[in-house]
Amino acid sequence: MKTNLTRRDILRFAGGAAAGVMLSPAPWRLTDDLAIWTQNWSWIPVPPRGEPSVRMTACSLCPAGCAVKARCIGALPVSLHAVAVDTVSGGALCPLGLTGHHLPYHPSRLSAPARIVHKDGTRRTLPVQIDGLLAEVARAIAMAAASGQAVAALDMRPGRSVSWVWRRFLASRPGGVVVPAPGRAGASLTTVKAMVPEQTGAFGLDFEGARAVLSFGAPLADGWGTPGRAARLLGRGSGKVHLVQVEPVRSATTERADRWLPARPGTEALLALGLGHVLLAEGLVGAQAAGRARDLAEYAALVSALSPEAAAAATGVPAEAITATARELARGGPALVIAGEDAGGGRLGRVAETAVWGLGLLLGGGTRPGGLVPRAELPEPGQDGPLAPLRELHELADRSVAVLFLDTSAGDAAFPWALVERKLVARGALVVALSPFLAGTAVRADLVVPTAPFLEGVQELPTPFDAPAATFAVATPLLQPRAGAVDPIAFIRAVGGASGAKWVGPWGTSEDVVKARAARIHRGGRGRLVAFADGAVTRTAEVSSPDAFWTVLQAGACWQDERLAAVQEKEFSLLGGVGGALADRAANANTATRADARWPLTLVPRGLRDVTASAAVSPVLTKLYRESGLRRSPAAALVNPETARALALRAGGNAVLETANGAVRLTVATDAGVMPGVVEVSVGPDASALGDREAAGAAGVLDICGGGEGETWGGSAARLAED
């Protein structure tokens, strides 16, 4: 027997082992794994690790305040989902909400206060210390007081507790005034409020009770109210509401509408009066409505000349459509007529809004189910005291504001900056913005204070403008706040302190003041809490303490008030104080169509709320813009192919769009859904969603819009020529 191992034995063993290994899966698996290893380069992003959990909050990126379920990994939110509970929004999120968790990491996020130097159309950002900033603001306020100039706050998200604190703070400043964002969704409701002066509280819109809706420019399917509510409204089976949409360009709403009335921009008042004419002529006005209308005779006289044919000639809407619409509205059950705002184009203007709301009042006789419904207001956070007045921007005198605060801490809005600029004093005006991002309106400011973005700071969701009853929710933060973020209440307090004023209340932060409001709601004892997690309903009266109430809200819930009885009691005015203007329009109806040879086109800027309500949007929104062309780029001027031919413009070619306010360079695109004679331009998201070529042009169109009645900018006279 051989007892010693030779080299040959070892070699034989090694050879056999090698052959054996080759027959095993090992080398093949190792080779396969090479494929995975080549995947793991260091520059490939790695998703987070951690325990999965679910947390509830609300989306505060626009006033709709949809409930949100956040899927978190290791306490960091990785996706946001809609929650199908009975809130006004119910079961839907828009692209902005679906990507809200990206915003805290947005590249334009501010981490320290900054000074912006505007020079020759360029912008430079310089760092500034918060103390120096406060001192500068205090000095400016003092100088304003000394020279009798105003201190104003432009509130992009009015109705919050913070909004109320602005009013309390500025009440102590001479000339202090708070201005809600121009063109915000629901702004036109102030017009109808003025037409029913004896009605206290606010108006909501009872879409659910309506059988027919006539919308003048309210983009219902494009995120005007809340996405889920509109979807339910337009999608209800046999009980689906009959929608008539008035708009000059085709949109998702006109596609879903049962009838589209393409009225020329600026002729909405004439269309509304024309519909009123048919109602009166065919005796379709109910006795109740007739009884409560104070100025029915005047109204009748005004609309007498606006036969369907005359209205058709003036507006471009066929006479049969006008007649048919009026009949449908009168006979089909409760009809709700609304004057809308476009997220990029703003309001129709007080005159047109009066005609539109007037038509609705004529059909319904005031507040009633399926129409305008009265709504209690939310209590304010603190005791009553002096409040700075609320004024619309166009109501301020030109060159009167020396210090302007832009509160974009809870959201932004799209409007021509020129409208604000003319209210600022010619020299020495100071504009201070509170914003999480160096984007949107905040870039117009001289000083910017960084605030916490969505998911990092407590935000409040007061009643959305269209809700039929008051609601209240809190957007609970899911992320730790970053160093450098300044709380808006702390800022206001510090500014007050620096300018030697006594602080208006016990609150130090936003959370304090929102909590105080919640406590007052709880004390009112009305309504109920609906929890997002499971839809559990708790009556307010059954919640033992304000702290318990706050805990439920923080865990993700919405407080809903009881509906007020929509009793048709109050008298109303059909002409709302602008009878003279309406009469002028009616009288000049036949000249409304004559276009100015110098400015043959009407520029209609259009926006979508999910990109104008926030200064910054997730970069993932490129999926809708650059990567698919689904949404129009802000660098494109859309015209009807006929218009393009008439102006010798080539699709894809460069052109200059000019108005009396300036010019911008755009690319021509043709779209048969745009009315001939109209040029539609998108008001887009911030530049991160756009390509480099387009980003340069993105700021464009609103800069040249304006000059409409009551500072509207939805239809400017323009011309388009090849570049």
Which x/- pattern, by CB under 8 A, does the window 639-658 give for other proteins?
A: -xxx---------x------
Distance CA 563, CA 619 (A): 40
CB 653 within 8 A of CB 722: yes
Tell me: does residue 680 bind other proteins (CB under 8 A): no
Tell me: does residue 231 bind other proteins (CB under 8 A): yes
Instruction: By CB under 8 A, name the one of 56, 92, 443, 543 that touches other proteins.
Output: 92
Question: What DSSP string describes 612-628?
Answer: HSSSS--GGGGGTTTTT
Stretch in the footprint of other proteins (CB under 8 A) among 94-102, 127-135, 392-400, 537-545 = 94-102
Per the DSSP assignment, residues forming a β-bridge with 433 are 406, 448
Residues 6+ apart with CB under 8 A from 103: 61, 109, 436, 437, 453, 454, 455, 614, 616, 617, 618
Contact positions with other proteins (CB under 8 A) in 496-555: none
Which of left, alpha, beta for 216 (phi over 0: left; psi -120 to 50: alpha)?
beta
Q: How far is CA 490 from CA 161, 486, 506, 510, in A?
A: 13, 7, 11, 8
Q: Could you tell me which of 445, 446, 398 has the C-alpha nearest to residue 426? A: 398
| Residue 680 Cβ vs other proteins, minimum distance, rounded to whole Å | 12
Nearer to other proteins, 17 or 75 (CB): 75
Nearer to other proteins, 178 or 603 (CB): 603
Tell me: does residue 340 bind other proteins (CB under 8 A): no
Instruction: By CB under 8 A, name the one of 235, 333, 389, 525 that touches other proteins.
Output: 235
| Residue 630 Cβ vs other proteins, minimum distance, rounded to whole Å | 5
| Six-digit token string for 556 | 């993700």
Tell me: does residue 43 bind other proteins (CB under 8 A): yes
Instruction: By CB under 8 A, name the one of 675, 698, 701, 704 that touches other proteins.
Output: 675
Stretch in the footprint of other proteins (CB under 8 A) among 11-19, 406-414, 545-553, 666-674 = 666-674
Distance CA 678, CA 249 (A): 8
Instruction: By CB under 8 A, name the one of 260, 507, 559, 713 that touches other proteins.
Output: 260
Which x/- pattern, by CB under 8 A, does the window 601-620 give for other proteins?
A: -----------------xxx
User: What is the layout of strands, in order, in the sheet containing 76-82?
Assistant: 52-58, 67-73, 76-82
Nearer to other proteins, 264 or 350 (CB): 264
Which x/- pattern, by CB under 8 A, does the window 164-203 give for other proteins?
A: ----------------------------------------
| Segment holding 471, helix H or strand E | strand 471-475
| Residue 227 Cβ vs other proteins, minimum distance, rounded to whole Å | 4
Contact positions with other proteins (CB under 8 A) in 50-79: 73, 76-79
CB 181 within 8 A of CB 158: yes
Alpha-carbon dihedral 550, 555, 561, 563, rounded to 10 degrees: -170
* Pairing status of strand 447-450 against strand 430-435: parallel
Q: Could you tell me which of 718, 717, 711 has the C-alpha nearest to residue 351? A: 711
Tell me: does residue 638 bind other proteins (CB under 8 A): no
Tell me: does residue 630 bind other proteins (CB under 8 A): yes
Stretch in the footprint of other proteins (CB under 8 A) among 337-345, 357-365, 425-433, 688-696 = 688-696
Q: Count of residues binding other proteins (CB under 8 A)?
A: 76
Count how many residues are written for the chain: 723
Nearer to other proteins, 188 or 254 (CB): 254
Instruction: By CB under 8 A, name the one of 428, 629, 646, 696 that touches other proteins.
Output: 629
Which single residue is written with the structure tokens 């960091």? 76
| Residue 455 Cβ vs other proteins, minimum distance, rounded to whole Å | 10
Rg over CA atoms, the chain: 29
Question: What DSSP string describes 126-146?
Answer: EE--HHHHHHHHHHHHHHHHH
| Residue 631 Cβ vs other proteins, minimum distance, rounded to whole Å | 7
**Within 10 A of 45 (CB to CB), how many other CB atoms are there?**
4
Tell me: does residue 122 bind other proteins (CB under 8 A): no
Instruction: By CB under 8 A, name the one of 94, 153, 246, 589 that touches other proteins.
Output: 94
Stretch in the footprint of other proteins (CB under 8 A) among 7-15, 19-27, 254-262, 340-348 = 254-262
Nearer to other proteins, 248 or 714 (CB): 248
Nearer to other proteins, 85 or 138 (CB): 85
Alpha-carbon dihedral 20, 25, 31, 34, rounded to 10 degrees: -140
